[in-house]
Structure 1
Amino acid sequence: MTLQESYIEVVKRSYSGYWNYLKHEISAPDWDNYFYGLIAVSLLVWLLEIIFPWRKKQPIFRKDFWLDTFYMFFNFFLLNLIVLIALSNATAAFFDDLLGVFGLHIGSLQLFDVDRLPRVLGLFIFFIISDFVQWNTHRLLHKVPFLWNFHKVHHSVKQMGFAAHLRYHWMEPVVYKSLLYIPIAIIGGFDAQDVVIVHFFALAIGHLNHANLGWDYGPLKYVLNNPKMHIWHHVKALPEHAKQGVNFGLTLSIWDYIFKTDYIPEDGRDIELGFEGDENFPKDFMGQESYPIRWKKPSGS
């Protein structure tokens, strides 16, 4: 079998494996079921929005509610089926093959195995490293013009609500997972249950960050990202000293406080959200997905 054929085989196995997994997720509810877990977390946070609304004049079915709901299920499930699983597995195979040229394999780069640590400590290490890598990746999405064009989809939200969490272009998780693969592989030893626990915690915090809730968690605001902090990440009029963004934290806010990218000048309940020029940004799913392909750099810039 040629190298090209082996990669094609990886992609085929990825598609069939994920399709079978997706059918199982929908037909066989379990405690670690992503499909029903997403629905449960979403309904819970939406209920909190209804009971404790921060922006009281904002409708329950806010602007783009159904578009963001579609994005939730597309990005969480269909995106994986269409491209992400196959691409991730092919990337992993390519990286392993590349190491093989130098007589190495991913196991030889492994610094330590978290299986040898107490489970709670292993989970903590996994979570901290994942969140820090993703914080840096999020900064790149704002600072690199090519990546910012994809990230504009997420920042096109004009009214915040839980489902806005998963409004993003399909290219974003490709970037996140590619940059996360090596550090996680070097540590190694994580099992599926570890990933599920960390994933659902991050999902819940992400939903809360985008929800119509005026919470900051008191002293925990310096550790956990929160709605009052994250709304400033979506502010349209960025401060002069940080035109490429502020408050990049996903689950943890501590990185922003450590690296001085935090910005909460006042109560942000009624600030305008978006980005400069968003009035010309597509309002529909297909338009937003195709925007980075059609975008042309303004002349003179």
Structure 2
Amino acid sequence: MWETLVTFISGLGLPVTIANLVAFAVVERWMPAELEQPLNAYFLNIRITLLYLIASSYWGGVSAAAVTKAGALVGMGLIDLRFASGSNIGLQVAAGLLGVIIADFFYYWFHRFQHIIPMLWAQHKIHHLDEHVNASSASRHHWLEELFRIPFLAIPLAVLFKLDPMPAGVIGMLFTSWGYFIHANLRFELGPLTRFFGGPQVHRIHHSRLDKHFDRNFAAFFPLWDIVFKTYYHPQRGEFPPTGIAGERVSTLRHAALLPIQIWIKNVRTWFRSAQEVL
């Protein structure tokens, strides 16, 4: 039973999640962008994250099945971009970066659609209702989030590209921790590198509640895609705006878990009433 529990916990990614939360909690106390964030908000994020990770363990199997089915229909890895043969560390790093840049392109568009399409926004807004963004916000996603990623990320990436496997060790851990880094409550600026790499300041702009920052800085790793598709906002020196959505908040796990479903039901009822009025 103990071995089963350990396997389950490892499968959820809890060890990596806990390690990142502890590490960034220490750093955030050293140079916070927002002072004295409330603990109750932090622990709400942890509960939402735990539900998200549990659900993701199921959606992962659904994703694998969907990718397999799509591959059987149209093929897999139609564009071969592999080049890192052997043990050349430089080539392995380059191959890893290429994979992340391509994945970030698809993530950029999925993320942008989450802000454009009302059905997707209904579940994504849970992430944006966080008034106190910090490392614990990184996985503050609705438990249905991974289901929506399947058609936008998992299937097109698997069907279109054949890539070298992500380099293991330090590089792999860096990419895993990046989500926690960009959400961290840090008064940290990348200066001239801001246009090349996402960071806490650039991503805080994305979470800003100020009108001028709405629908900006969608990319997770490289602002390149925001620059190309004209959604990039370059933060000014010392610009760390307040976060969240004005006039809205979630305060319980139950509220967070059910909010999108309630919105969808309300929208369907509104649509039916409108259809009946037309008839």
Give me the TM-score of the superposition, normalised by structure 1: 0.75
Query: Could you tell me how far 1:128 is from its partner in structure 2?
Result: 0.8
Instruction: Tell me which amino acid in the other structure corresponds to 1:51.
Output: W
Deviation sequence 1:177-233 (CA, Å, 0-9, x none): 432222344322544x53776653234222122222111212111111122222221
Instruction: Tell me, yes or no, if the aligned pair for 1:130 and 1:184 is still in contact at 8 Å.
Output: no
Deviation sequence 1:213-261 (CA, Å, 0-9, x none): 111212111111122222221122323xx75x11112122222233221
CA change 1:111–1:291 in 2 (3 A) is same
Paired position in structure 2 for 1:222: 195
Paired position in structure 1 for 2:14: 35
For 2:211, what is the secondary structure of its paired residue? coil
Deviation sequence 1:85-111 (CA, Å, 0-9, x none): 221122113213333xxxxx325x243
Q: Which has the higher contact order (CA 8 A, sep 6+)?
A: 2
Instruction: Tell me which amino acid in the other structure corresponds to 1:64.
Output: A
Paired position in structure 1 for 2:72: 97
Distance 1:22 1:258 in 2: 46
Q: Given the alignment of the two structures, is residue 113 of structure 1 paired with residue 82 of structure 2, yes or no? A: yes
For 2:130, what is the secondary structure of its paired residue? coil
Instruction: Tell me which amino acid in the other structure corresponds to 2:56.
Output: N
Instruction: Tell me which amino acid in the other structure corresponds to 1:111.
Output: D
Query: Could you tell me how far 1:116 is from its partner in structure 2?
Result: 4.3
For 2:167, what is the secondary structure of its paired residue? helix
CA change 1:50–1:276 in 2 (3 A) is closer
CA change 1:163–1:106 in 2 (3 A) is same
Paired position in structure 2 for 1:72: 49
Instruction: Tell me, yes or no, if the aligned pair for 2:96 and 2:167 is still in contact at 8 Å.
Output: yes
Distance 1:188 1:90 in 2: 18
Distance 1:85 1:195 in 2: 21
CA change 1:184–1:158 in 2 (3 A) is same
CA change 1:199–1:299 in 2 (3 A) is farther
Paired position in structure 2 for 1:84: 59
Q: Given the alignment of the two structures, is residue 149 of structure 1 paired with residue 122 of structure 2, yes or no? A: yes
Q: Given the alignment of the two structures, is residue 253 of structure 1 paired with residue 223 of structure 2, yes or no? A: yes
Give me the TM-score of the superposition, normalised by structure 2: 0.80
Identical-pair percentage: 23
Distance 1:197 1:75 in 2: 26
Q: Which runs of 5+ in 1 are unaligned?
A: 1-19, 100-104
CA change 1:222–1:260 in 2 (3 A) is same
How many pairs align?
Answer: 261
CA RMSD of aligned residues (A): 3.1
